Amino acid sequence: MLYPERRDMLFRESLVPFAPADLHYGLRSEFMADKCLEKVNLVIGAYRDDRGQPWVLPTVAQAIQLYHDDALQNQEYLPIAGEQSFCKAAAHLLLGCEDSDMQNRKFSFQTISGTGAVHLGAVFLSKFLAVPKPLVYLSDPTWDNHVPVFTHAGLSVKHYQYYSTETRLLNFEGMIQDLQDAPRGSIIVLQASAHNPTGVDPSQSQWEQIAETMKSSGHFAFFDCAYQGFATGDLMQDSFAVRHFFQQGIEMFIAQSFSKNLGLYGQRTGCLHYVANPGSEASSTVQRVASQLSSLQRSEISTPPLYGAKIASLVLNDKTLSKDWLGDLATMSERIAKMRAELQGRLEELGTPGNWRHITTQIGMFAYTGLNESEVELLRTKWHVYMLPSGRMSVAGLNSRNVSYVADAIHDVVGKVKVRK
């Protein structure tokens, strides 16, 4: 026998059980195998055009051509902190202030998109935050990768009230109360715009109150910014919360992704920005934090990938491309807003039980439909319409050819089944 059975294997079944399959990609695989011609994928958060196809932004296509036409480009390693022309432009895009205002208070690291930025910040905080056993507070609900990223970094996770299932709006009073009650020095994870999964954001005045609560409670802010410009088409509006926190002198991490707003999904292009409190110690603090982030980045990925950062840098730093990019952002955000309006209108026309105004009051890629798990299951098994069991829908999967079909499907299943116990 070439490979005799070994009963002393280190990785025994009891030590290495099967991990649960990823829900998103499991549903994606099921969708791909579905033979129904009318099937609709409302699971994965990636933009699709009105033909239901992936869309390469015209400005990104131009940047790619410029990159390949440049004979001086090469494939050498980037520095540990990444492509600094990209990082500098990314920070300016978020914070909107001049270099002289930022240089003593912040440092930026290129990361493996937004997920890598959250991870790098989480590992740093688990090692260096000056609070014994710090708690991470996430919104309820939140992006489902937040919990494993922070727990894998060794941090304990709790949740603050955020979404009201009754009103389908922000539970602002509950959120503020939970932030006030959290132990001083807690890590509060906030989504800057187009909250995933609910599509419900605080107003600007509410963000101002949140910032005031964060300062008075001595919490550390950790922003996740995955949809700047993609949410409303307005870069300034989508980064209001981050800019306000910066202006208020609040110490924070900001995880920034260019997957959605540049369509660089597969390039995994992102940044982690550290912003220190203002004052005489700021520059020294930034340098020390940057040194430890460099050490962590070096041990985990050595240096970040080159291609996506080069393309993003061209778009962000070229005046013509950056101006044209605003048109691309408007194209995406306006199409999604149109699909929201058409879905709501069709449901109301059909007389579907319930109030569907939340479809258009929510913003961004995702809609929290209010459908229960059993209704979602019936949508998939009877109508071949796929979304997450929570009822979260990727609005980008809707188009002029399928939006009426999806509305008919929702109308058919609403109230037909109860939540399974």
- Distances in whole angstroms, Cα of residue 1 to Cα of each of 5, 7, 395: 9, 15, 56
Any bridge partners for residue 160, and if so which? 139
Is 260 assigned a catalytic role? yes
Question: How does strand 385-386 pair with strand 40-41?
Answer: parallel
Nearest to 269 by CA among 229, 228, 326, 307: 307
Residue 318 per-residue DSSP state: -
Nearest to 83 by CA among 60, 111, 57: 111
| SS3 at position 366 | strand
Token reading at 212: 């005031």
Q: Which of 224, 328, 356, 383 is catalytic?
A: 224
Q: Which of 201, 238, 260, 328 is catalytic?
A: 260
Is 143 assigned a catalytic role? yes
Question: Is 240:93 a contact under the CB 8 Å cutoff?
Answer: no
Residue 381 per-residue DSSP state: I
* Sequence-ordered list of residues with C-beta below 8 angstroms from that of 367, at least 6 positions apart, any chain: 199, 340, 358, 359, 392, 393, 395
Any bridge partners for residue 385, and if so which? 40
Q: How many helices (H) and strands (E) does the chain have?
A: 16, 11
Q: Which of 143, 207, 325, 383 is catalytic?
A: 143
Residues marked active site are found at 143, 224, 260
